Structure 1
Amino acid sequence: MTSVLISGAGIAGPTLAYWLNMAGFEPTIVEQAPALRRGGYVIDFWGLGYDLAERMGLLDQITRIGYHAREMRIVNDEGRPVAGFGSGVISELTGGRYVTLQRSDLSRLLFEKLDGQVESIFGDTIVSLHEQDDCVQVEFEHAPARRFHLVIGADGLHSCTRTLVFGPQPRFEKHLGYTVAAFEACDYLPRDDDVYLMYGRPGRMIGRFTLRDNRTLFLFVFATKGEKLPTTLDAQKALLRDLYRHDGWECRKLLGELEQTEALYFDSVSQIRMQNWSCGRVALVGDAAFCVSLLAGQGSALAMISAYVLAGELAGAPGQYQRAFGRYETLLRSYIAAKQRGAERFAGAFAPKTRVGLSFRNLVVKAFALPGLARLAIGRDIADSLELPEYSWRSLNRRAIA
């Protein structure tokens, strides 16, 4: 049986493990965190990722735990609406197949779908990879060294697997000129259920979204020019305080909540662009291979799509992993490139860098209320031009890749 080590238990990793297990492979997941991650930012989930979740029997659970936003509202210094649109616009763009949920909830559902059939190693990471004629010798930080027929990096924007095999991250990373931060608070008032609120000044914005269990999620997006970002929690909080302390709306109150948190997500808004997604017996999926950026809104869906296609191509090419890797790239390369171009255009809409840009963004958002205009303006970036391949998962092929 073909053994496959998957680095990462986020979105792509469990999805890949599920489909590889369906095809008769023997996947193992290694995850640096001691357990599945909790909390974090919310994602908008639609398109082919939504379709794959349905194929995996997860749609009812996702619909139940997800949020069904009824409005996106942009407010001014006094909290009064200046632009926005209702859920009808989103339904028009997605055919009603759309949900908002926490990324960690989707990850948990995908992992639970493995139903204990896949070996999982938490609290460990790969420290070296040595390719041999018939396998990859893998050394871990804690566990004893082992051999696997293939190794797949599903470990995100800051992929350890990519660094070990392809080189340092700066070689492949393209900054989009923004940084993002997010955290949760409890008992925050006011609560605006199923409404995503945005407040902006030139070059920065804050978003607020109400969660269940009396929690509220806050999202900061602000322009940067490639400067080195702070790495400690205290320094990250200090930067956010300096940027937002003189702003209106609820900013002072939000910064007060920020002081209490010990769990702040903080990262640059970047893309990963690579000439090849595989090298020898090692391949990459999801953000590790082609991160489109957090602000694109489709990273989780694209992670699931890439995992599905890679598993299907491996299942359809027994004994020929190089052919499978090549087919995987051929099928997805132009599709992903188009998504990255769309994400690059979209990033600036969160935090336009000038007053004129803010005003124009608000006018465009207002105009989305006109039937058909949202589809005309951003439909090409929302729509999926790819048709998911059909693979014969029931014809399980258990021949080892030699």
Structure 2
Amino acid sequence: MAIAGNRSVLISGAGIAGPTLAYWLNKAGYDPVLVEHAPTLRTGGYVIDFWGLGYDIAERMGLRDEIHRLGYSVREMRIVDGSGERIAGFGTKVFQELTDGRYVTLARSELSRLLFEKGRDRTELIFGDEVAGLEQQDDHVRVRFRHGEERRFGLVIGADGLHSPVRRLVFGAQDRFEKDLGYAVAALEVAGYRPRDEDVYVLYGQPGRMLGRFTLRQDRTLFLFVFATDGAPLPQTLDGQKQMLRARFGDGGWECLRILDALDAADALYFDRVSQIRMPGWSQGRVALVGDAAFCVSLMAGQGSALAMTSAYVLAGELARAAGDHEAAFRRYDSLLRAYIELKQRGAERFSAAMAPKTRLGLWFRNQVVRAFALPGLATLTIGREITDRLELPDYDWPS
């Protein structure tokens, strides 16, 4: 049995929160070990709008130039009808103004890779394995892996997403904490699709469903499907997921049939329900959660990655400040972020309903609001509260 000292921290998950936490834990004088059940870092997926505290943390990690080099400068969000005619939309300049230019759209997988590369030289990495069992002791956590040998760590942090195995093992079943927002989402990336509207996010909506198209580099196109659900379980196989998308979008106008044809050749598909995780506490003993594992606001909120980075930064900073008292650090971490996260979760609920309204009246009202964004100052007044962060990022004295 391999035994590590109490400065060792096992981090489950190599998405956004995990690599960010590993980087800052090194700054705090800890020895992070990152385990990821996938054999390699994930690619593809979907694009995110990145701003706020997450952007600030990326800048402190020296990643600002790389993020903008890999990112996209979206110039318009355009809503079209069944014939492809523009019926509403707005320029995205308002986001640049609200954030003083600290705003970029980029692939989530690219952000994950940048964060991972930043800290990999000082982090032990385990791919193709996962946490299968946890047993907490007074001075360590005994961890059983699915494939590797049993080990002991001073702390264990679950950064393993909406369906967190660490959360399930320590806090209980997911349905105790999950709030289903009534939608499902799928993302697909294909090559060679036409037409291409460069730097424009094109959206087509019908009651209870929305389909978006966004052009990527290297002649690739990203499609995002969002549709209302009745709470029934979602299919787990790729064929079943494709069949569900065909059933939900097969009678749609615009480019629905052409996009569904492109779906046939796909050998990978992001597919999940849109839901939140709401927990009364994010730690128990020597185990804590960060990012979506602790408080998923939902993919539709658009700030999940930034919030994951914020929680990782604050947790590492509080561990550094507490000088080894993990219980005090965990309490402080929770108290600093709790109200801020709850505010973001309430905003995400409103945004999900606004993106894919379930009635024709709701669609009409959404389009009127989007059209009104063209009026000077109205977009700032309407969405400024959601864009502007109300939490000041703490400054920590990093010992190393």
- Equivalent residue number for residue 318 of structure 1: 323
The answer to whether the Cα contact below 8 Å between 1:71 and 1:86 also exists between their aligned partners in 2 is yes
User: Which residue type is aligned with residue 13 of structure 1?
Assistant: G
- Residue 115 of structure 1 deviates from its aligned partner by 4.1
- The Cα of 1:297 is off from its aligned counterpart by 0.2
Identify the residue that residue 353 of structure 1 maps to in structure 2: 358
User: What's the C-alpha RMSD, in Å, of the aligned pairs?
Assistant: 0.8
Instruction: Choose the corresponding residue for 1:296, options 283, 297, 301.
Output: 301
Q: How does 1:189-338 map to 2 (within 5 A)?
A: 189-338=194-343
> What are structure 2's unaligned runs of at least 5 residues?
none
- For residues 1-400 of structure 1, the aligned pairs below 5 Å read 2-393=7-398, 395-396=399-400
When structure 1 is superposed on structure 2, of 156-165 and 363-372 the one drifting more is 363-372
Instruction: State the AA in 2 paired with 1:223.
Output: A
Q: Given residue 187 of structure 1, which amino acid in structure 2 is its aligned partner?
A: G
The alignment-based identity, stated in percent, is 68
SS state of the match for residue 288, structure 2? strand
Q: Distance in 1 between matches of 2:315 and 2:91?
A: 37
- Deviation string for 1:261-292 (max 9, x for gaps)? 01111100000000010000000000000000
Q: TM-score, normalising length from structure 1? A: 0.97
Partner AA of 1:178 in structure 2 = Y
- Supply the distance in 2 between the matched residues of 1:338 and 1:141 (Cα, whole angstroms): 37
Q: Secondary structure at the match of 1:19?
A: helix
| 93-102 vs 242-251, which moves further | 93-102
Deviations 1:111-160 (A, max 9, x none): 00014110010000000000011100000011100000000000000000
- How far is 1:89 from its partner? 2.0
User: Displacement of 1:88 after TM fit?
Assistant: 1.6
What is the SS of the residue equivalent to 1:113? helix
Q: Within 2, Cα distance between the matches of 1:169 and 1:382?
A: 29
CA–CA separation in structure 2 for the residues paired with 1:235 and 1:47:
38
The alpha-carbon deviation at position 57 of structure 1 amounts to: 0.2
Q: Which moved more, 1:278-287 or 1:347-356?
A: 347-356
Native 8 Å contact 1:93 1:374 kept in 2: no
- Equivalent in the alignment of 1:399: none
Q: Deviations over 1:56-103 (max 9, x none)?
A: 000000000001101110001111100001122222332221100110
Structure 1's unaligned 5+ residue stretches are: 397-402
Q: Where has structure 1 moved over 2 Å in runs of 4 or more?
A: 92-95
State the 1:15 CA deviation.
Answer: 0.3
* SS, match of residue 327 in structure 1: helix
Alpha-carbon distance in structure 1 between the residues aligned to 2:18 and 2:234: 28
Specify the SS of the correspondent of 2:41. coil
